[in-house]
Amino acid sequence: MNGPGHERCEGYGQRTFTGEALRTVAFPLGGIGTGTLSLGGRGNLCDWEIFNRPGKGKTLPYTFFSLWAQEEGGAAVARVLERQLLPPFVSGSGLPPNQAVGLPRLREARFTGAYPFAQVEFEDEALPLAVSLEAFNPMAPLDAGVSGLPVAIFLWKLRNPGNRPVAATLALSLCNAAGYDGVATFGNRPAHPSFGGNLNEWRDEGGVRGLTMTGGKAPSESAGAGSLAVATAWKDVTYLERWERAGWFDSLQSFWDDFRADGALPSVSQPEPSPDGSTDTGTLGLRATVPPGGEVCLPIVLGWHFPNLTNYWNRNSPVLGSRLGNYYTTKHSDAWEVVCNVVGRLDALRGRTRAFADALFESTVPATVLDAVSSQMSIIRTTTCLRTEDGAFHAFEGCNDNAGCCPMDCTHVWNYEQSLAQLYPALERSMRGTDFQVNTRPTGRMSFRTLLPVVSGELWDYKPAADGQMGCVLKLYREWQLCGDTEWLRALWPQAKRTVEWAWAPGSWDADRDGVMEGEQHNTYDIEFFGPNTMCGTLYLGALKAASLMADAVGDTAFAARCREVYESGRAKYDASLWNGEYYEQRVQVGEMHADSLSREDWHPSPIKAGETEPRYQYGPGCLSDQLLGQWFCHVAGLGYVLPEERVRAAMGAVVRHNWRATLSNHESCQRTYALNDEAGLLLCSWPRGGRPAYPFPYADEVWTGIEYQVAAHCIYEGLVTEGLRIVEGVRARHDGARRNPWDEFECGHHYARAMASYGLLLALTGCRWSAVESVLSFAPRAEAMNGGSFRSFFTCGSAWGTVTVGEDAAAGARLRVIEGSVALRRAEVVLPDRRQFSREFTAGTVLEAGRTYEMERP
Amino acid sequence: MNGPGHERCEGYGQRTFTGEALRTVAFPLGGIGTGTLSLGGRGNLCDWEIFNRPGKGKTLPYTFFSLWAQEEGGAAVARVLERQLLPPFVSGSGLPPNQAVGLPRLREARFTGAYPFAQVEFEDEALPLAVSLEAFNPMAPLDAGVSGLPVAIFLWKLRNPGNRPVAATLALSLCNAAGYDGVATFGNRPAHPSFGGNLNEWRDEGGVRGLTMTGGKAPSESAGAGSLAVATAWKDVTYLERWERAGWFDSLQSFWDDFRADGALPSVSQPEPSPDGSTDTGTLGLRATVPPGGEVCLPIVLGWHFPNLTNYWNRNSPVLGSRLGNYYTTKHSDAWEVVCNVVGRLDALRGRTRAFADALFESTVPATVLDAVSSQMSIIRTTTCLRTEDGAFHAFEGCNDNAGCCPMDCTHVWNYEQSLAQLYPALERSMRGTDFQVNTRPTGRMSFRTLLPVVSGELWDYKPAADGQMGCVLKLYREWQLCGDTEWLRALWPQAKRTVEWAWAPGSWDADRDGVMEGEQHNTYDIEFFGPNTMCGTLYLGALKAASLMADAVGDTAFAARCREVYESGRAKYDASLWNGEYYEQRVQVGEMHADSLSREDWHPSPIKAGETEPRYQYGPGCLSDQLLGQWFCHVAGLGYVLPEERVRAAMGAVVRHNWRATLSNHESCQRTYALNDEAGLLLCSWPRGGRPAYPFPYADEVWTGIEYQVAAHCIYEGLVTEGLRIVEGVRARHDGARRNPWDEFECGHHYARAMASYGLLLALTGCRWSAVESVLSFAPRAEAMNGGSFRSFFTCGSAWGTVTVGEDAAAGARLRVIEGSVALRRAEVVLPDRRQFSREFTAGTVLEAGRTYEMERP
């Protein structure tokens, strides 16, 4: 934990990975909707996903950092700036020259990530310099523009621990991959049918110098059409505009021989397009002499510009092949303009990003929780998420290795995430626009996925998802509370109302309108629950409660009353019929089916089998981890309890007691596996009282981080803080670098959106609640979120973000610091577990402003 | 080391792998030309390569061993019989259910391989039984038939360490993969367009019971057309003919629930073809009750039959798509017949295989050398090698992950291997038939690769390889010596003679016929050497010497004399012009080119570049590891020295001194990488005296095990035994399971043929020399091949194999034991380093016979 009294360090007290633990580390570098590349644990550049699709395992040929260094009077040494490779070393044709695997590397690396910052410290006695790297992409909450720059920024620090000057060249070699489709895997040579006419050009303009790399032959509408650039403001530079075009290993050999000799490259500009089918590599080197005891920081900005996001994911659909475009490419004309823009304001961009990281990590919230919160907010800026040319935000569920998975905007998976709603609420509102203005039919039935582009007029055709549809109503309420914009709510209200009413249609979920869903409830487990269950049920109750409040706000009092009536009926009935003394069960019951709800065998197998009396894929008397999913969301959204508080608390205790496994060595699952061996994890379901169905629902026996975070946060809301933190620690321990990448929690795809439920941990632990409708910002931290008597945390409140601080001393005050944005506030308050309270009332119309601190007082 | 006095153990003193060292272990199970599947280090079945192509990483769905066990009065326990998975655990969609990853496995495994036997001992306290597995494919030297059975044999031992009886079921579940193309990767369901109409049938015939699995829909000429079978002679069996056909995870769930309940499966036979596009899994279980302190051995034979080997590798060639067929499938009608055949004589097959392994491993030769020799002889029985329907033996250089690499019969790569020649000399002679009767043009120019089928009449068109072509003459001599069949030699002689004469043609390698090759010498580095060098040169000298002897034998005395003359000229000139006082250099010199020798830019880049005075890719004054390649071969073939003995010895010392790296941490290579970091390895070349070309030959900076073994064996021949063994230990240390698979040395492809140079280590260390022409078998072991004063080793002599033994005691005698085959012998002798000698003269016509021991006496 990093209390405010601690000395700030680069890693902010986050974990450091070294040796075998570097194996799976890949830290995404990229902005919102720009795609990413990743910084591998060894300092290598990997997973190039800037070509309009995911690309796990995709590397660019001959793209690496290298260092030449010579102590005065000593011998020169040259190294690829990566830690040595980790075993295994198996490749049928040898480890590839295009990754310069045969060139010497550094003995060890220590990797620390505090998203959005990665830090690598290298160790190698052969170097006369201590070398470290800071890498990041600019990020500021609420500002999707600055958080959406298509760059990776590398700040290399060279420190001279000796007593003689050391001359050095720090170089980035980069393959001009313009034209690359993001799919092919390169052999020894960077060859591709879309390469040819690729042009590397040296530029030195207005204090920015570097290489611009453009494509030639690639069709202008292709995913690979675009440009790359690498630049610096550093004045003393050397470069090789393009490597020798030669066979065998001669390109790399001639570059390396030149570089290793004296660290100086020819630095001659004679641009010439590449021959058909091939492209060129270029190198930018930054030269410096580091005095004894001194240090230099060498900045390199890598930028890209690939405008053609195209729907490649909806098979057999008229939208397949339609161009969507990228929002980010509308802001600059090419990659060179990007890097000029960024190099020119690098200090400011880094300063804003540091301010965010400082606010987030210089906190009394446990480091493990900050790890979960920060690492998974990166999902917003991976290829899981898109920002199309029209500015709309869209998202897959996650990313398969080379394609997005489960398009698009899936309502039930996105029920769990809270990060986007809190950090970029305007983007989250764009999703609500899609939900209600695009995917909601006149009947109120929602498509729970989006076909892009939406101009096709066709909706995705599948049975509706009970959890997703009700979740959208809850999310609408959340967005309204966060922004306070009732006019925005009013615009969406007619469709939102119909989505609630659809639940009451004949054959639908609650055709008898008693507040209990009995019908076929398709849900996030990709199957249908039949009969009452509190997983869909609490989302329904929450939606009814939220709908009644929103109806009131827009003046639809009759509908508000109807929702309240159904809600009151439902909460009583759910509790009465499903409580088993310990937790809430499912009552399996197959009734009349809605015409829209018929199972389609061509998609997922039907739970209803000939000759079987009960439907498959139910949980019946099982203890479902998600059984109070809607209740959790109600806590997050400030909607209070929808079921009796004491039973909710007891049920969460039962979930942890029955579904948490300290080790999975004896666990039996015939499903997919996300946790195994001696790892700990929370199962989706268990049957502590027997009654496990022969064919339990998929994915009952699995472990999903998104649900673990949801349950952990809910436990914390219920006061089961120890239990909640234990779950979080279990998740993060599984993502220890050696087993899994801490910055990639996968489920059905990498960077799976559900994992952004982790942001709820911060809300639950700090008790942060913000209502722009009421203009009240309040905190009620748990003791575990404090460092003794002191409390400090990051917060957002829709239009501003900053920190809240309470001093250790009983006499000390509490204060809000607004770091960016502004917010109109009526009241702020902090209630501590030791009963200390601080608050401040503001006069009507008071706007809190960035850079200012506001004291709160004890009553 | 496992001296004869040591107690025999399963692993014969070979290394045991456990924990992380199991990571890359994959032990090939299969016969000559049958394809293989591999036993992974964890006891898993992996790398299914029985579908007429390599398949690294290809797994079959739902194919695994499992155990149910219940101690009397105790609870039942069920486990997948594999060690727990090793990290990393990254997969975008979770680890796959089709590998039953979510079912509990065993805590640890200890894997020992002594090819052809693999042994896995499992450790898990949860089991009431001690479980171990022996897996092998029958193998007997000289008998390609019994060594070419398409089966994997699994002998499971269950030992009861407790004091109550334990009931157990040992099961193999197997996916009916008939129809599979060997390329597709399966998802959750075993689906493939070629599946459909697949039929699993229970059979119980004549003491053999099990499941036969046939395909239905796959076209009869396709690579996947064929059958699988699993069978046992065990009487108490239980089975599930086919798993439930169901969606989601229900198939595995219903099998597992049934199995884990009581270890009994329905055992009902109702064969029914699978629906279109899908196939079925079946399970065979063997039941036993193991008494306290008792042990049972449960045998399972897996067999296959896939007749359609087809040329998929020669692109843009008329032979592409031509069917070659498999020899092995001509011996049985289908997989069921295979398993019936093998189950019926399992003890005999195991006995013969054990006799071979005992002979090989119960030896005073160092265990590391036996590891190198045995592990790489497995290449003969991987997909690197083929035996086509006509009985001919053909081979790639190695295997890419999913296709053979560098077809076919490459003369220069196959220069290095000795295993096939010694173990299966008839198959090796089939390669000589191809070399001379197919690939040799009337001019004497050889194609150094074969186009299959040869009936196409077209030859592979590329410049000839100097090392390969001369090597073929040497190999012809070796085969003649090993078989003694001068009529066979006579049949090939006219073409063999022309291949020598081609060297003297205008513009060819030695147009001035002075015994020195000055011309463009394409070679195994895939480039051309220009000017004299002893790498090609010693092969040339050896070929001249061999040719003179063979010419004498067939009565071509004029040619013999001419060869001798050229040979004498050449050996003097090479020595005079290339010796630099320490080793032999290359003199780079570009002369007139032969019309057939022009470089083709479309294949490999030309070394002759416009504007450059010297050709690229030479070694000049470098110290080449292969500089005495031909001399090594002459030692193996009993041809003696072609260059001065003292200089040969000195040069080998220089090779080790300059090219051996105890660590590669500072090594710089722009080429492919086979050894790195702190690993040791022998570089292909170095330039200790300077003069490294700017563009050295590929693959100068690489480390190849085949060359390491060649150099190590040559060092041993020269008395540099410590140096030789150090190299071998370095290779094997790199293949430690964690880094690389001990049973897969890759270069340009897995199971790379050059690695079979390792057999030369056994010949060098034991000084074994066999000439069927002279009927003399002699041994001259190095002290390092002995255990104190005793000596024991495996040997082959063309038509027989056995062991040679010398007792420790000075008074003890020496003896030959013939284990299989028979051989006509005139003289046998052993000369020991301590000057003890033993010998025996046999009267003309004496045939040594299998099962008999022949004493030798001191003179």
- Residue B244 and residue B200 in contact, taking contact as beta carbons nearer than 8 Å: no
- Looking up tokens 């005073």 gives B364
* Nearest-angstrom CA–CA distance, B77 and B162: 15
Count of Cβ atoms closer than 10 Å to residue B235 Cβ? 11
- Residue A493 and residue A472 in contact, taking contact as beta carbons nearer than 8 Å: no
Give the up-direction half-sphere exposure of residue B406: CA atoms within 13 A in the CB hemisphere.
23
Under DSSP, is residue A374 helix (H, G, I), strand (E, B) or coil?
Answer: helix
Under DSSP, is residue B113 helix (H, G, I), strand (E, B) or coil?
Answer: strand
- Give Dmax over CA atoms of chain B in angstroms: 89
Which among B102, B104, B676 has CB closest to A671?
B102
Interchain CB distance below 8 Å, B88 and A23: yes
For A745, nearest residue in chain B (alpha carbons): B92
Q: Is B836 exposed, middle or buried, given 0-12, 13-18 or 19+ CB atoms closer than 10 A?
A: middle
For B108, nearest residue in chain A (alpha carbons): A677
Tell whether omega for the bond before A408 is within 30 degrees of 0, i.e. cis. yes
Which among B103, B126, B750 has CB closest to A670?
B103
Question: How far off is chain A from B724, nearest CA to CA, in Å?
Answer: 24
What is the residue-averaged pLDDT of chain B? 95
Q: How confident is the model at residue A614 (pLDDT cuts 50, 70, 90)?
A: confident
Interchain CB distance below 8 Å, A89 and B748: no
Q: How confident is the model at residue A596 (pLDDT cuts 50, 70, 90)?
A: low
Structure tokens at A70: 């010579």
pLDDT digits (tens, 9 = 90+) for A212-225: 999 989 899 999 99
Q: How confident is the model at residue B189 (pLDDT cuts 50, 70, 90)?
A: confident
The strand pairing partners of B558, in sequence order, are: none
Which among B85, B97, B672 has CB closest to A671?
B97
Under DSSP, is residue B805 helix (H, G, I), strand (E, B) or coil?
Answer: strand
DSSP E strands in A72-129: the ranges are 76-80, 108-114, 117-123
Question: How far off is chain A from B740, nearest CA to CA, in Å?
Answer: 6
Question: How far off is chain A from B149, nearest CA to CA, in Å?
Answer: 26
Mutate to test the interface with A, among B89, B101, B745 (most CBs of A within 10 A): B89
* Nearest-angstrom CA–CA distance, B802 and B36: 27
Interchain CB distance below 8 Å, A671 and B695: no
Interchain CB distance below 8 Å, A695 and B248: yes
- In percent, the amount of chain B with pLDDT more than 90 equals 92
Q: How confident is the model at residue B7 (pLDDT cuts 50, 70, 90)?
A: very low
Written as one letter, the residue type at A369 is V
Interchain CB distance below 8 Å, B247 and A748: no
**Residue A601 in this model has a pLDDT that exceeds 80:** no
Interchain CB distance below 8 Å, B398 and A92: yes
pLDDT digits (tens, 9 = 90+) for A650-670: 999 999 999 999 999 999 999
Structure tokens at A15: 């974990």
Q: How confident is the model at residue A5 (pLDDT cuts 50, 70, 90)?
A: very low
- Residue A497 and residue A503 in contact, taking contact as beta carbons nearer than 8 Å: no
* Nearest-angstrom CA–CA distance, B119 and A823: 70
Q: State mean pLDDT over B517-540.
A: 96
Question: How far off is chain B from A567, nearest CA to CA, in Å?
Answer: 35
Question: How far off is chain A from B55, nearest CA to CA, in Å?
Answer: 12
For B607, nearest residue in chain A (alpha carbons): A247
- Looking up tokens 């290579």 gives B669
Interchain CB distance below 8 Å, B694 and A401: no
The strand pairing partners of A838, in sequence order, are: A830
pLDDT digits (tens, 9 = 90+) for B396-429: 999 999 999 999 999 999 999 999 999 999 999 9
| Sequence-separated (6 or more) residues with CB below 8 Å from residue B457 | none
* Nearest-angstrom CA–CA distance, B830 and B832: 6
* Nearest-angstrom CA–CA distance, B816 and A625: 72
Strands B117-123 and A398-399: unpaired
The strand pairing partners of A57, in sequence order, are: none
Chain A CB contacts of B738 under 8 Å are 87-88
- Residue A597 and residue A669 in contact, taking contact as beta carbons nearer than 8 Å: no
* Nearest-angstrom CA–CA distance, A478 and A429: 10
Crossing angle of helices B346-361 and B367-377, rounded to 10°: 140
**Residue B593 in this model has a pLDDT that exceeds 90:** no
Under DSSP, is residue B676 helix (H, G, I), strand (E, B) or coil?
Answer: coil
Question: How far off is chain B from A431, nearest CA to CA, in Å?
Answer: 25
Question: How far off is chain B from A579, nearest CA to CA, in Å?
Answer: 29
Chain B CB contacts of A94 under 8 Å are 672-674, 702, 746-748
For A666, nearest residue in chain B (alpha carbons): B104
Interface A-B: count of C-beta contacts within 8 A = 218
- Looking up tokens 């060997």 gives B182
- Residue A743 and residue A115 in contact, taking contact as beta carbons nearer than 8 Å: yes
The whole-number pLDDT of residue B592 equals: 60
**Residue A607 in this model has a pLDDT that exceeds 50:** yes
For A704, nearest residue in chain B (alpha carbons): B94
Q: How confident is the model at residue B755 (pLDDT cuts 50, 70, 90)?
A: very high
- Residue A745 and residue B94 in contact, taking contact as beta carbons nearer than 8 Å: no
The whole-number pLDDT of residue A188 equals: 83
* Nearest-angstrom CA–CA distance, A548 and A562: 8
Give the up-direction half-sphere exposure of residue B24: CA atoms within 13 A in the CB hemisphere.
20
Q: Which of B469, B478, B476 is nearest to B492 (CA)?
A: B476
- Residue B780 and residue B830 in contact, taking contact as beta carbons nearer than 8 Å: yes
DSSP state letter for B434: I
Chain B CB contacts of A249 under 8 Å are 670-671, 698
Interchain CB distance below 8 Å, A401 and B92: yes
Question: How far off is chain B from A253, nearest CA to CA, in Å?
Answer: 6
For B77, nearest residue in chain A (alpha carbons): A666
The H or E element spanning position B120 is strand B117-123
Task: Please calculate the CA angle A189-A193-A195 and round it to the nearest 5 degrees.
Answer: 70
Instruction: Please give the torsion angle defined by the CA atoms of residues B332, B333, B337 and B342, in that order, rounded to the nearest 10 degrees.
Output: 10
Question: How far off is chain B from A296, nearest CA to CA, in Å?
Answer: 26
Mutate to test the interface with B, among A668, A679, A745 (most CBs of B within 10 A): A668
Q: State mean pLDDT over B458-462.
A: 91
Interchain CB distance below 8 Å, B738 and A107: no
Written as one letter, the residue type at B625 is S
Chain B CB contacts of A399 under 8 Å are 92
Q: State mean pLDDT over B700-706.
A: 98
- Residue B60 and residue B174 in contact, taking contact as beta carbons nearer than 8 Å: yes
For B400, nearest residue in chain A (alpha carbons): A92
Q: Which of B100, B236, B80 is nearest to B172 (CA)?
A: B80
| Sequence-separated (6 or more) residues with CB below 8 Å from residue A389 | A307, A309, A324, A325, A326, A327, A329, A330
Q: Which of B627, B756, B625, B598 is nearest to B683 (CA)?
A: B625
- Residue B831 and residue B779 in contact, taking contact as beta carbons nearer than 8 Å: yes
Instruction: Please give the torsion angle defined by the CA atoms of residues A680, A686, A687 and A692, in that order, rounded to the nearest 10 degrees.
Output: -120
* Nearest-angstrom CA–CA distance, A245 and A252: 10
Under DSSP, is residue B259 helix (H, G, I), strand (E, B) or coil?
Answer: helix
The whole-number pLDDT of residue B597 equals: 52
Written as one letter, the residue type at A367 is A
- Give Dmax over CA atoms of chain A in angstroms: 89
The whole-number pLDDT of residue A158 equals: 98
Which among B92, B102, B252 has CB closest to A400?
B92
Interchain CB distance below 8 Å, B92 and A256: no
Structure tokens at A25: 């580390």
- Residue B718 and residue B710 in contact, taking contact as beta carbons nearer than 8 Å: no
Q: Which of A617, A696, A694, A700 is nearest to A658 (CA)?
A: A700
- Looking up tokens 């983007």 gives A427
**Per-residue 3-state assignment (H helix, E strand, C coil) for B351-368:** HHHHHHHHHHHCCCCCHH
For B256, nearest residue in chain A (alpha carbons): A670
For A734, nearest residue in chain B (alpha carbons): B89
Question: How far off is chain A from B746, nearest CA to CA, in Å?
Answer: 5
DSSP state letter for B523: -
Phi-psi region of A260 (alpha: psi -120 to 50; beta: other; left: phi over 0): alpha
Q: How confident is the model at residue A189 (pLDDT cuts 50, 70, 90)?
A: confident
Q: Which of A143, A146, A178, A216 is nearest to A305 (CA)?
A: A178
| Sequence-separated (6 or more) residues with CB below 8 Å from residue B665 | A84, A104, A107, B677, B678
For A245, nearest residue in chain B (alpha carbons): B605
The whole-number pLDDT of residue B8 equals: 39
The interface predicted TM-score (ipTM) is 0.95
Q: How far is CA A653 from the centre of its chain?
A: 29
* Nearest-angstrom CA–CA distance, B316 and B297: 52
The whole-number pLDDT of residue A595 equals: 53
pLDDT digits (tens, 9 = 90+) for B107-145: 999 999 999 999 999 999 999 999 999 999 999 999 999
DSSP state letter for A320: T
The H or E element spanning position B729 is helix B721-734
- Residue B366 and residue B729 in contact, taking contact as beta carbons nearer than 8 Å: no
